[in-house]
Structure 1
Amino acid sequence: MQAPQAAFSHSTWAPAGKDIVGTSLGSSRLWFTAAEGIVTEIYYPRVDIPQIRDLGFIIADDKGFWVELRRLGNYRVNLPKPYVPAVEIVHRHPRFTFTLKICPSQHRDVLLLHCQLEGDADLRPYALLSSRLGGDAENNQAFYSEHNGRKILWAMQGPFSLALMANRETGVDAWKRCSVGCIGESDGWQDFNRHGRMTWEYDSAGPGSVALMGELPNQATLALGFGTSMGSAATLAISTLFEGFSGIWDKQCCAWEAWFKNCHLPDLPHDLQQKLALSSMVLKVHEDRTFCGAMVASLAIPWGEDSQSRGGYHLVWCRDLVETAGALVAMGSVEDARNVLRYLIATQQADGHWLQNQWLGGKAFWQGIQLDEAAFPVLLASALRECKGLVDIPCTDMVTRALRFIAREGPVTGQDRWEEDSGVNTFTLSVAIAALVEGSTFLDGETREFALLLADNWNARLEEWTFVADTSLARQLGVTGYYMRITPDDMLVHDGTHSEHVLIKNRAFDPGLSADEQIATDFLQLVRYGLRRADDSHIIDSLKVVDRLLKTDTPNGSVWHRYNGDGYGEHEDGSAFDGTGCGRGWPLLTGERGHYALLAGEDPLSYLKAMATMTGTGGLLPEQVWDSAPIPERHLNPGKPSGSAMPLVWAHSEFIKLCYSRALGYPVDRPIATWNRYRGKRPEITHDLWGPRYHPRNIQAGNVLTIALRAPARVHWGINSWKDVQDMNTKNTGLDVYVVELPVAGLKAGETVQFTFYWLDQEKWEDTEYEVLITE
């Protein structure tokens, strides 16, 4: 009988705060998550395609008592070892104890669940599954039927199908009554909500948002299989059931034990070693099978229960991926990091950059341009070569194209690392400078020399571009100045003042902060990469400002906001982020601060302990933690996960790196050539660079003026109001930046240089004449 169709679509996802995530290490192409004590999104056949919303349970009798496990909230999550994603969840209620064990097959696209209900004799469990095949909640169809003498709950949509089957310990079909329905109208939850017990037995539902329900005995094993047809999904499910749950569980444990033997942990207190082991497992779980080396940012959709987004964090961000690869190198998982580099080379765009984020196959999701994402893969190639892991991976073409993009577009980024504003940002610039230096070691001749010239110029001008002094905020806080969050890009070509307004994203209203009133923690990367010393006065003053405006002390330790005025987080009343909100503390920023502490001569152990206590029920690190007064009805407690993504792979990577950095005595991901070149000191330059994106009005007396353009040109120039006019042709640096050196080192302070260009490829003159003043 066809179930009544829902009058509306209910297409939200499961909560983002996962208890645990898992996968097998065999040929199976299935990933699972658990939240609120039940199975939530399952991904198949790739780590970026969610197929269900959740698979939970209702415990009920026939007298009107019923409770949904996910709403009970009294459960414990157990793993055999911190690094083995075979999950036991024990729910407790005054009338019963319900034990759920979750384990994937090693070689079939099947998830097994073993459930046992103990307590009052008249209680029975009911499995309830909401499908989202292909990540689509609108066009699923559900069926209940018998196949080869067994009861099966099915769902299908497009090229995807699932089959949910059940066995008793004897191998006999365990299903009793079954039903399918449309969410919000005829699903099993609505049946219990309206009648207090199971009364419906529909055999088909949809197309639309659908759910499947089946009554079970007090002990049973469920198999959820996926395939390209309902028959193939059922065949996989029943085959796995007859392998036996205990056998599947043992194989999962053995496979992960064997994998973990290759992970060498540094000396740490026992509880931190356990967290480190768990973090290493989290990284491995997020790796895809088909696109080897691709890893998504999280198997979670932030504020999923309030979101209809199809994107979520099950996408690849180049930055997150390289941050994760750095943790893999630290752990000694060099081959995994090599696979990351191969994947990145394969997905590099023609002009040298990488997409803001993408599906695993390389299709763009968002469209932003972030300069650090063009630079990070170069740092990975250099790090692999340093540990002798690069071997036969050809990188010169990738590096050249990446540096070409950086040279032509920098120092400006279209978006900062938080994917918001354009301009000059200290974190982004640190990564770009390091990429130029590390990348230069793959090059030779004039191309190498120009990459270093560019790096030195950008490094020397960091404070000119991003540091402000004697502002009202600086005076208020008693410091000389501080690094700004971001410098609007047109300040590089206008008067260089820092009063221009920068719109803060994710706010219901514009707080009206000018650029020189916005601060962030991003400047710490200058120290981490060796561009500035930990005791540099600019760094120390900026730290004082950051700690006054962005730091929150929670019961679990200190945490920092991304920047003042951030709107990415829950609202003040704890309601979910909905495009606006109030930014919260990020544990990964605690890790970054720990790396600074290490370089300042401190033991970063307190930062590691803080991160380790900011975790969720299963020990996973969240994107953000709640840092206001507790709101118990929304499960928001200071220093504990908010509704943002958990786990955040980047946060686990930062925790891993800080563990290994502590053992080394310096950041494990510090670029070696960059550190050797600068060692924390601002470089002295003999060439002042004009262009391609930075147009200084002054250059230092005694320096050569290098004009850098993005197309070949004849530079028409003179001095002191167009005297001694000359023409000089540019030459290609090998990075599609065309340069000419004007011999003006002999000019004295107060003299001027004038110039314009004749564009050789367009055969026309530049519309503007430029002037540069010689200063002391």
Structure 2
Amino acid sequence: MQAPGAPGIDPTWTSSDKDLVGCSLGSGRLWFTTGFGILNEVYSPRVDLPQIRDLGFIVADGQGFWVEVKRLESYRITLPRPGVPALEIIHAHPRFELRLRIAPDPQREVLLIEVSLQGDAGLRPYALLAPHLGGTGHDNVAEVGWHRGRRMLWAEQGPFGLALAAVDSSQCDAWGTASAGYVGASDGWQDFDRHGRLTWEFDSAGPGNVALIGALPRLATLALGFAASRESAATLAIASLCQPFDAVWAAHVGAWQQWHQQVQAPQGLPPALADQLATSAMVLRVHQDKTFVGALVASLSVPWGNTNDSLGGYHLVWPRDLVESAGALLALGAEPEAREILRYLAATQLAEGNWSQNQWLGGKAYWQGCQLDETAFPVLLAAALAERDALDGIEVAAMIQRALGFIARIGPSSEQDRWEEDAGINAFTLATCISALVCGAAWLDEPAREWALRIADDWNSRVEEWTAAQDTALARAHGVAGYYVRVAPPLDTEGMRHLERVLPIKNKLRDPGLPAEEQVATDFLHLVRMGLRDPGDPLVLDTLKLVDALLRVETPAGPAWHRYVGDGYGERDDGSAFDGTGRGRAWPLLGGERGHYELAAGRDPLPYLQAMASMVGRGGLIPEQVWDEPTAPRPWLALGRPTGSAMPLVWAHAEFVKLAASRALGRPFDRPDAVWRRYGGRRPAPAEALWSPRAPIAQMRAGQRLWLCLPRPARVHQGIDGWQAASELDATENGLGLYVVALPTSGLAAGTRIDFTFLWLDDGTWEGVDHHVTVR
């Protein structure tokens, strides 16, 4: 009989407040998450493809008493040891104790759950499953059926199927009364809510937002299988149940314990932090895919997922997060896994030389933005492997040349900063790109090699010119001379910056309309971490003072920082979920970045490791954000504790690992050797000045050589002081996709004005604009 109530209420994912994430280390392509004491999103056959919303339990006596255990919020979880994702969950109630043990089948796309109920004799458990096959709660079809003599709860949607099988302690089919329904109308939860017991026995529901429910004996084992059809999934589930649960559990635990023995964990940590390090290492390992080897998603979660049915969530690949994670894997001695990440990046590089803002595992772009740091990071990964003589024959020269060419042509202004928001010039992006140009130059032939270093030196010498504000009202109010701004708007055609321009704040319910010079961020710390500026630089110290005044939050767990002034990405003021607008909360990973600065400044970063480790959830997962107010408008929010944003955030775990490694090393682990050798924390004074349409200059120092860097083949018409001594010069390609020419500026006195314009040789048209640079 078909259930009524089609198509059900609008579907959502579950909360991103995870207790644990896990997978097997075998060939089984399945990843699981838990939260609120039950199983929630399960991903298969790829780590970017969630297939269920959740699988929870109701305990009832059939006489009117019933409890959905996830709403009890009275449970504890235990692991065999830190960093081993095999968990036991015990839900406690005055009338019963429900014990769940969860472990994946190492060889199959099947998750096993052992269910044990103790307490009042009349009670029994009911499994409640919400399929979201194909990554959506729409158009699923659910059915209570039979497969080769065994009863099944199963579902299909498109090319995906799942089956939930159950056996009792005698290995007999365990399902009792069962039903399919539409969520919010005729599902099993609604039946209990209305009748206090399971009275409906609908055979099928769908297409729509559907759910399945089935009664179980007090001791049972469930097998949740996934495949290309429900019948195939059932075959996998039944096969998995043909082995003792304890054997699967022991094999899973043993494999993870062996993996941890191979990890080269940084030493010298207190026991609690060593445990957290094991958890962070596990999180990094779990988020790696098995089909697209080297791909690693940002999080097995959908931020504020219980309010939306987002297709993307955080189960996508961000090149920045991927390389940050690769660095942590290197810190753990996992060079083979870091190499696979580099191979994956080489395979997904775009024709222009950049990478997508984020993408599905196969390389298809999700969002369409461009962030220059995400083009630079893969070059830094190649350099980090090369520093350790660990490239193992990977040919990276072509990848690096394309990437550096893109940076040289598009920079220094980026379409988006690292927080995926405003266009302009940002200190973090600059530091990453400059470092990539220096590191990547070693793989280039001349003249590209010389030009990569020339551009790096030029940009490094102009960081303050582009991104620092001095003698502003904000500076005077906080007693500082100057500071780095969050994002400087792109330069105008004469090379002038306009920090007085209003820089929009994304996701803010009411954008305060702050000019760029009133917005600061923590991003400047990357200048120190990469070795471009000294930690004692006066401008660095002044910005640090301003950041601590405006962005630092003191919590019972320790200090944390907001991303930038006016951030709008986080819960709203009343604690309700971010819905496209909100107020940014504090990010634990920024504490790790601050710890790296403190280490560079000669201080022990241990307090920052301790703070990060104190902001975790029940299972040691580090969240994207923590609540930042002393009072909490919602019962699940507390100062310094996880919010409804992503948990875990793999980048945050990577930052924890790298800070631990940096502390053991005595310097930032991911500071490139080539950058440190070239700059050593000092701002360069290059003998050449570069002008380009994307980075024009109005002045150059006397004695410098002036180079023009153009995006197209061109003939330059140039002269001095009103076109005197005019001549024409042809620009030549420099190996990075720019067309360059040096103007005859040797011996020009201060006050001389250099004039130039271009004839574009590819179409024979004049640019029609006169440009000028003055010698000072």
Question: TM-score range with shorter-chain normalisation?
Answer: over 0.9
Residue pair 1:574, 1:634 contacting (<8 A) in 2 also: no
Question: Aligned pair 1:13/2:10, yes or no?
Answer: no
Note the C-alpha offset of 1:692: 4.2
Counterpart of 2:41?
Answer: 41
Counterpart of 2:564?
Answer: 563
Distance 2:136 2:467 in 1: 45
Note the C-alpha offset of 1:302: 0.1
Note the C-alpha offset of 1:150: 1.5
Counterpart of 1:553?
Answer: 554
Q: Secondary structure at the match of 1:542?
A: helix
Distance 1:124 1:601 in 2: 60
Note the C-alpha offset of 1:444: 2.7
Distance 1:161 1:7 in 2: 19
Counterpart of 1:505?
Answer: 506
CA gap 1:203/1:598 in 2 versus in 1, 3 angstroms: same
Counterpart of 2:645?
Answer: 644
**Residues 243-262 of structure 1 mapped to structure 2, 5 A cutoff:** 243-262=243-262
**Residues 187-226 of structure 1 mapped to structure 2, 5 A cutoff:** 187-226=187-226
Counterpart of 1:135?
Answer: 135
Note the C-alpha offset of 1:367: 0.2
CA gap 1:322/1:309 in 2 versus in 1, 3 angstroms: same
Q: Deviations over 1:672-694 (max 9, x none)?
A: 10111000000011101001411
Residue pair 1:296, 1:313 contacting (<8 A) in 2 also: yes
**Residues 476-625 of structure 1 mapped to structure 2, 5 A cutoff:** 476-491=477-492, 493-625=494-626
Note the C-alpha offset of 1:492: 6.8
Residue pair 2:494, 2:771 contacting (<8 A) in 1 also: no
Note the C-alpha offset of 1:268: 0.7
Q: Secondary structure at the match of 2:213?
A: strand
Residue pair 1:409, 1:692 contacting (<8 A) in 2 also: no
Counterpart of 1:383?
Answer: 384
Amino acid at match of 1:84: V
Q: Deviations over 1:158-180 (max 9, x none)?
A: 11111101111111111111111
Distance 1:419 1:492 in 2: 25
Residue pair 2:508, 2:582 contacting (<8 A) in 1 also: yes
Unmatched segments (≥5 aa) in structure 1:
none
Note the C-alpha offset of 1:120: 1.2
Note the C-alpha offset of 1:441: 1.0
Note the C-alpha offset of 1:147: 2.2
**Residues 10-409 of structure 1 mapped to structure 2, 5 A cutoff:** 10-265=10-265, 266-409=267-410
Residue pair 1:698, 1:774 contacting (<8 A) in 2 also: yes
Question: Aligned pair 1:471/2:468, yes or no?
Answer: no
Distance 1:216 1:391 in 2: 53
Residue pair 1:9, 1:138 contacting (<8 A) in 2 also: no
- What root-mean-square deviation, in Å, do the aligned CA atoms of Structure 1 and Structure 2 show? 1.0
Note the C-alpha offset of 1:76: 1.0
Q: Deviations over 1:251-288 (max 9, x none)?
A: 10111122112112222101100000110000000000
Counterpart of 1:699?
Answer: 700
Counterpart of 1:451?
Answer: 452
Residue pair 1:408, 1:692 contacting (<8 A) in 2 also: no
Q: Secondary structure at the match of 1:655?
A: helix
Distance 2:233 2:178 in 1: 18
Residue pair 1:6, 1:184 contacting (<8 A) in 2 also: no
Distance 2:666 2:401 in 1: 32
Distance 1:742 1:157 in 2: 65
Q: Deviations over 1:528-581 (max 9, x none)?
A: 000000000010000000000000000000000000100000011110000000
Residue pair 1:466, 1:483 contacting (<8 A) in 2 also: yes
Distance 1:496 1:292 in 2: 44
Q: Deviations over 1:187-242 (max 9, x none)?
A: 00000111111111111111101101000111110000111122111111011111
Moved more, 477-486 or 221-230: 221-230
Note the C-alpha offset of 1:486: 0.2
Note the C-alpha offset of 1:493: 4.0
Amino acid at match of 1:6: A
Amino acid at match of 1:233: A
Residue pair 2:8, 2:208 contacting (<8 A) in 1 also: no
Q: Deviations over 1:727-763 (max 9, x none)?
A: 1111111011111111213111111000011111111
CA gap 1:494/1:686 in 2 versus in 1, 3 angstroms: closer
CA gap 1:138/1:7 in 2 versus in 1, 3 angstroms: closer
Q: Deviations over 1:509-542 (max 9, x none)?
A: 1111000000000000000000000000010000
Distance 2:141 2:303 in 1: 27
Residue pair 2:41, 2:54 contacting (<8 A) in 1 also: yes
Amino acid at match of 1:756: T
Note the C-alpha offset of 1:633: 4.1
Amino acid at match of 2:211: A
Residue pair 1:98, 1:117 contacting (<8 A) in 2 also: yes
Distance 1:515 1:197 in 2: 60
Residue pair 2:352, 2:406 contacting (<8 A) in 1 also: yes
Q: Deviations over 1:374-409 (max 9, x none)?
A: 100000000001111102100000000000000000
Residue pair 1:40, 1:54 contacting (<8 A) in 2 also: yes
CA gap 1:194/1:492 in 2 versus in 1, 3 angstroms: farther
Counterpart of 1:749?
Answer: 750
Distance 1:15 1:406 in 2: 38
Q: How many residues were matched structurally?
A: 775
Amino acid at match of 2:280: S
Q: Secondary structure at the match of 2:708?
A: strand
Note the C-alpha offset of 1:497: 3.4
Identity between Structure 1 and Structure 2 (%): 57
Distance 1:152 1:334 in 2: 44
Distance 1:138 1:273 in 2: 43
CA gap 1:769/1:424 in 2 versus in 1, 3 angstroms: same
Residue pair 1:117, 1:218 contacting (<8 A) in 2 also: yes
Note the C-alpha offset of 1:60: 1.0
Unmatched segments (≥5 aa) in structure 2:
none
Residue pair 1:18, 1:647 contacting (<8 A) in 2 also: yes
Counterpart of 1:663?
Answer: 664
Moved more, 647-656 or 95-104: 95-104
Distance 2:518 2:725 in 1: 45
Note the C-alpha offset of 1:494: 5.0
Q: Secondary structure at the match of 1:489?
A: coil
Q: Secondary structure at the match of 1:56?
A: strand
Note the C-alpha offset of 1:609: 0.2
Distance 1:738 1:391 in 2: 35
Distance 1:215 1:62 in 2: 11
Q: Secondary structure at the match of 1:741?
A: strand
Distance 1:171 1:631 in 2: 49
Residue pair 1:465, 1:492 contacting (<8 A) in 2 also: no
Distance 2:77 2:134 in 1: 29
Q: Secondary structure at the match of 2:214?
A: strand
Note the C-alpha offset of 1:649: 0.2
CA gap 1:149/1:496 in 2 versus in 1, 3 angstroms: closer
Residue pair 2:24, 2:252 contacting (<8 A) in 1 also: yes
Q: Deviations over 1:423-481 (max 9, x none)?
A: 00000000000000000011132111110000000000000000000000000000001
Note the C-alpha offset of 1:44: 0.6
Distance 2:593 2:543 in 1: 15
Distance 2:417 2:213 in 1: 46
Distance 2:419 2:272 in 1: 31
Residue pair 1:713, 1:730 contacting (<8 A) in 2 also: yes
Distance 1:342 1:215 in 2: 48
Distance 1:289 1:711 in 2: 43
